[in-house]
């Protein structure tokens, strides 16, 4: 069996700065995700299985269960 070499991709400081300026709420809405109230500081992405976007900090958390479906 052959191995494929994986070369790590390093991001430049400028790329990181630009990525951190993107609003996750606006990005989710632009891609058509439906957002609903997920608590005082969070929005829940509907039908995501547990994806929450925190409005104030522009961060996200994905809660996942260990339960297997199917």
Q: Convert the pLDDT of each residue in 3-22 to its tens digit.
A: 788 888 889 999 999 999 99
Whether the model clears a pTM of 0.75, i.e. scores above it, the answer is no
DSSP state string for 7-45: PPPPPPHHHHHHHHTS-HHHHHHHTT--EEE-SSSEEEE
Question: Considering its fold, how many domains does the chain have in total?
Answer: 1
Tell whether 57 is covered by a domain: yes
Tell whether 41 is covered by a domain: yes
pLDDT tens-place string over residues 31-69: 999 999 988 899 999 998 899 999 999 999 998 755 444
- pLDDT the model gives residue 65: 58
Domain that holds residue 51: 34-64
- pLDDT the model gives residue 1: 58
């Amino acid at each position: 069996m052959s191995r494929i070499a994986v070369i790590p991709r390093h991001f430049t400081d400028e790329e990181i700065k630009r990525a951190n300026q993107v609003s996750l709420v606006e990005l989710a809405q632009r891609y058509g995700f439906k957002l609903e109230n997920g608590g005082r500081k969070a929005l829940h992405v509907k039908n995501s299985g547990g994806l929450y976007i925190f409005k104030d900090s522009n961060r996200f958390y994905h809660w996942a269960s260990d339960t297997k479906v199917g």
